Structure formats: C-alpha cells, structure tokens
Amino acid sequence: MKNKLIIFALILLLPASAFAISGEEIVRKADDKATYDSAEMAGEMRITDRFGTKTSTFNSWSRGENESLIEFTSLAERGQKVLRTENEIYLYYPDAEELIRMQGSALRQGMLGSDISYEDMTGGKDRASQYKIEVTGSETILGRDCWVLSLEARTRSVPYPKETVWIDKQDYIVMKGEYFTKSGRLLKEMEVLELGEIDGITLALETKISDKMKRDSDTILIVKDLKANVALDDAIFSLEELSW
Amino acid sequence: MVAGSKRTLASVIIVLFCFSAAAGLSADGNLSLELGISSLAIETREAVSNDSDYEIGDSYWGLMAAGTAAFSYKSTGSKNVKADLAFSFAEPETGLLVPSLDRAYVKARFPSFRLTAGKTRVSWGDGLVFNAGDIIFGSTDTSVDLTASEIRTETEWLTAVNIPLGSFSFIEGVAIAPETDTVAGFAVGSLQKSSGGGRFYTKAGSIKLEGGYFFDQTGDEASATDWESALHRAYVAAQGNLLADWNIAASAALPAVGDAKQTVKDELNISGGLFYLASLNSISSMTFRLEALYRPFYSWEEESWISVSEQPEYALVLYPEVGYTPTDSVSLTLRSVWSPVDASAMITAGAGWNVFEGFDLSCYAVFNAGDPDDSFAWNRADSLWSPGEDLMDSAAVIIGVNYIY
C-alpha cells in the first residue's frame, strides 16, 4: 500500500478522509492533494493569547504516515527534537543530552503550549474508514467555492466525533474545519488564512487553529518552505539523527 | 574545590581550542542568555543570637534573594560539527560571583560514528529522579531539588564514541579522565586512575533495552592507591508501555580489589517507574508518575539520625508526582520524595506560568514532614545548612522568574 504523508499544516483537517459516496471522491482528492510520499518543510508556529504571541520555528522531515522528525529552531527550545515512529515518540533535549521514549497516552500531549498535540504534528491516520460523510452544501471561503461536508465518526478512536469541513472545488484544498463533541459542542476550529504556491504545489501557507475551550487563544501554522516527494535518507528517522 | 581544578583548566583550554577549530569552520552560532531570579522565604525555628530585631529563641520568617545568569553559545555553521559552551553565574551572600562551566563540548559526526569531547553528560537508563541505570553520574541520591526544571544535570569531562547499529540501536563508549589534586602534588592524574565503560541500546519488539559497564574511579582521590576504591559497575534497563509507560533498571558493583561482600550490599540498586498522561479535554491534562528506588541490603527498620554526613539510608524510597495542566501555559505540580520506612517526606508544590515568549513565572512551596531523626525532618536539632546560624524549619516558599533571550 502506498504510504501517504499528511503535511501537518493540514493534519487537523484530514479527519475528513472517510466518505459516503458523494463525499468520498471529494475528500479522496483532497487527501491526494495534501499528502506526499515524503516531505521536507520549514515552518513557524505562532501561539497567541491575551498576553501576546509566542513564536516557535522548526524544520520537519516526514516519510509515509508514520515517520517524522521535527527539530525546533527558535531560541527557547532550540535543538529540541521529536521523532515519531508508528507507535512511539522520542523526545530529545540537547542541554541534558536526554532521550525520552514515550508511548501510549503521552502521544496526545500538547506540543510547546500549542493547540496541536505531538500526535497531530507527527502522526498520520487512515481516517477514511473512521467517518460517515455527507455533502451538505456550498460556501465561499477566501474567494474560493467550497463544498461543505459533514462527518460523523464511526469509531471512538478519533479525536473528534463530529466535524464539518469546507473543501475547495478547484484545488481540493481543505479551507476550513470545525470539530465537535458528540453532543455538538464546538471544540476546535481551523481556517486557511493564506493560500500560495511552493515548488509548483498549491497549499495552505497560513492556517489558524483555535481551541474553543480557551478564551482569546489560537495557533497559526505557517509553511515557510516545502519540498515534496524528495528522497530522504533512512538515517533521518533514527536515534542518531534525533540526538545529533 | 581545589582537587580537579587544574584538570578542569586544562580541559577548558582544550575545549576552547576545539571551539576555535569549530568556529573556524564557520562563525555561525546562536547565543542565548537565561536569567533566573528568585526570592526565598524560609521559616526559622529559633534565632541563635540576639540582634536588634530578634532574641535567642525567637522565630521569624526570613527572606533572601538569589539569581543566576547562564550564557550558552551553540555553533550552527556545520552539519557535521557541533559545539556548545555554557557558563552560569550565581551570586551568593558573599557578593562574589561564582562561575560554573555547565557545558563545553565539541561533537563531530563521521560516516560511521560520532565523537564527543568535552564537558557534557551521557544519560544512561531511565527515570526522572531515581535511575539505577545511571551508573556514571548516579541518580539514587534522595537529596534532590524538586524545584529545578531538570533534576539531574551533572556534567563531566569525558570523551564518548557513539556507533549506530541501525535506526534504533547503538553502542557507546565513554572515557573519563582522572582527577588531579594540586594540593597533594598530583599535577596530572595517573592513567590508571581513569574511568571508562560502554553501553548498548536497542529495541526488542516494543520494549527498549539497554545495558552497560563502567569502571568507576570517579570517586577516588588522586592520592589514593591505584584501584583501592575502584568499582566495576554494570546495569541493565528496560522501558515499555502497558497501559502506562514503564521503566525498570538494576545496577550492581564489585570492587576492583578487596572484599566484595559489603560493596555488593551497598551498591545494588533497583529502580522502576510508571508514567501516565490523561487528557481531560482538548487543552487540559493530568500526569501521574511514580518512581521507586529499592536497595535490598539497606535497612527496613527506622534508625536514629546521627548527623548530616551520617544519615540513615533505607531500602525503599518513592517519588510520586502529580501534574495538572489546566491551560497550555500554566502547570501545577505536586512532587514528593517519600521515605516509607521512617514515614517522612519532602514535599514540593509548584506552579509555573509561561507568560510571554521565553518568560516564565514560578512559585514553589517546599516543606519536610517527619520527626527530627527522620530522613526528611521538619525541625532537626542542628542546622542542615550552616552550623552556628539560626535554626530553620524545613519550610520555604520560592517565587521566581526565568527569562531566556
């Protein structure tokens, strides 16, 4: 089976990967659009609350659904790295020369105080079999005509039981998403703030993620550079690279 | 401390030379400064002298301020050479700055191995507070600072070679130069007083395994007869997940010379830990950690406390920790080192708030709960910190700020 990598700027949108007949084709194309066999990316994460904005910058390398390495380059956490494999996460803290292996529930921990968990950042999931999907209408987002799709979880093993996503009809880019509890309470919201083209690929350059459980707080992910479907050395996803 | 100072100076020169070489590859680097300012309020039990404010026997709350500044310069110019130089400065009550060289090392990555030389640490085994696998630096001491962001931070002048054996396996060799003692006339440590060893690290299924050996002379005085207190240390450690993340490690030691019986009893350590993170909702979570240090040949019966240097040590010590993160930038922790044999504990309750980028506020309340002759005593008969000064209860409140820029 061809491995697919979900670039993390769109990871929170991709729960929309299981489809009823009318929605299946839409989301499958969106999935294809947003996934790569491998990718090398430089990005920025801005966490804003009522006290101001905290910025973290990072480089990431990803291959398939289960292999990724993130290195933080901003001052406060410079050199810290996260290596994700299928069932485990390794954290590396350079000052302490410490390598910490985490499994299980620890993968869902929020990363650097953001609205994104390590699992969100580094993990891809086959969500196609996890949701029922229905096309409910059309709306315009950032001047682009989008399908509106409603998703309902088939399984409990998903972070959000209900979702609504807006997918661009031209380039199959997920432009907006709302994520709900089973009872319909809005938990998280995402929206694309800026679309652009890097290396011939149209993608979301700026994505805003707001956790509705928090007041006056949101996270903006910015893609600074992206090289998709590039050959990545096996050694990148190793303890040797992690602890370097 | 005089012993080792000459070795340290020589090592600094060597590493600075290496830094210069690394810098020659590129002048690129990142400088960061970390300032930590704290105020400590501590309760005294009774003053031991009269002054204008207090008479002998009076109790009062004292207040003191302290600060540290840490500089770190990390090279960034080469993909295959890295260097890090980190100093910190503290100003105690004497008013004299006390510098400390925290890290000073160069790493070089070759096609089939990695070389590290300088003042740094290697982390063997697992465990936040208790780690029997840490046979180089030792992570069995119960006198730990639970207000610190990193509990075990010791570094040593060492040379290490790391050889990858696949993506998740490696072997590592470490050599540590001997101490010198200029007072005793030992300008250079004897080669025979060196310490060294190695470890392997691998995965078997979903379980991480590691084990290693270390010929330990780091505790020897330079003037000691060769190998008279040297130890052969070995450890095994494993880590996995079964509902919670777990780890376990065991270490033992044999003397290089002399009777092994007492050494085996003194140095057999077994540590284990459990860690679980529970997400309460999409932004808040709780963490639960429990670590244990078991020393089978230590006492299971409560003993009288003699002095600071002759405290009884018991067979079992526990470290329970509960953490609560209500929002992304706020954390609350309750930590304790607990000695179940004499039913005493050192308890630390803390709160941290990442207010601005690189800027954190923290507050800790620390107190000991135990009788005067327990491992963690509320009010000992003598001063633990400075004999002759006012006696202090084991209660303190620390408020601090930390800024990295």
At residue B351, the pLDDT reads 95
Q: Tell me whether residues A88 and B206 touch, CB distance under 8 A.
A: yes
Cβ–Cβ below 8 Å for A239 and B164: yes
User: In angstroms, rounded to a whole number, what is the distance separating the alpha carbons of residues B69 and B81?
Assistant: 27
Pairing type for strands B316-327 and B29-46 reads unpaired
> What chain B residue is nearest to A108 in terms of C-alpha separation?
B279
Say yes or no: B213 contacts chain A, CB-CB below 8 A: no
Q: Which residues of B touch A235 (CB under 8 A)?
A: 164, 167
Determine the distance in angstroms separating the CA of B379 from the nearest CA of chain A, rounded to an integer. Answer: 34
Angle at A191 between CA A188 and CA A192, to 5 degrees: 150
B307 pLDDT band (50/70/90 cuts)?
low
Q: Distance between CA A116 and CA B255 in Å, rounded?
A: 51
Surface of A (176-195) touching B: CB under 8 A: 187-188
| Residues B162-175, mean pLDDT to the nearest whole number | 95
Is the confidence metric ipTM above 0.90 for this complex?
A: no
Q: For residue B82, which residues of chain A lie inside 8 Å, CB to CB? A: 244
3-class SS string, chain A: CCCCEECHHHHHHCCCCCCCHHHHHHHHHHHHHHEECEEEEEEEEEEEECCEEEEEEEEEEEECCCEEEEEECCHHHCCCEEEECCCCEEEEECCCCEEEEECHHHHHCECCCCCCEHHHHHCCCCCCCCEEEEEEEEEEECCEEEEEEEEEECCCCCCCCEEEEEEECCCCCEEEEEEECCCCCEEEEEEEEEEEEECCEEEEEEEEEEECCCCCCEEEEEEEEEEECCCCCHHHHCHHHHCC
Q: With 70 as the cut, is the pLDDT of residue B203 above it?
A: yes
| Mutant choice from B168, B242, B405 vs A, greatest count of A C-beta within 10 A | B168
Report the chain A residue with the minimal C-alpha distance to residue B121. Answer: A97
* Whole-number Å distance between alpha carbons of B294 and B315: 6
Nearest to B357 among A55, A104, A217 (CB): A55
Tens of pLDDT, residue by residue over B212-224, are: 999 998 765 555 5
pTM exceeds 0.95 for this model:
no
Please indicate if any CB of chain A lies within 8 Å of the CB of B166: yes
Which of A56, A57, A95 is the best residue to mutate to test the B interface, defined by the most B CB atoms within 10 Å of its own CB? A95
Is A86 part of the contact surface with chain B (CB cutoff 8 Å)? no
Contacts of B375 (CB under 8 A, 6+ apart): B142, B305, B311, B312, B313, B314, B317, B339, B342, B344
Q: Are B283 and A53 an interchain contact pair (Cβ–Cβ within 8 Å)? A: no
B99's enclosing H/E stretch is strand B98-109
The CATH classification number of A5-242 equals 2.50.20.10
* A144-202 per-position pLDDT tens digit: 999 999 989 888 777 788 999 999 999 989 999 998 988 999 988 999 999 998 888 88
List chain A domain ranges. Answer: 5-242
pLDDT digits (tens, 9 = 90+) for A86-133: 788 899 998 888 888 988 766 655 554 445 555 555 444 456 667 888
On whether any CB of chain B is under 8 Å from the CB of A54, the answer is: yes
Residue B11 sits at φ, ψ, to 5 deg, of: -65, -40
Structure tokens at B394: 């084991």
B188 touches chain A (CB under 8 A): no
Q: Do residue A238 and residue B162 have CB atoms under 8 angstroms apart?
A: no
How many angstroms separate the CA atoms of B136 and B23, rounded? 30
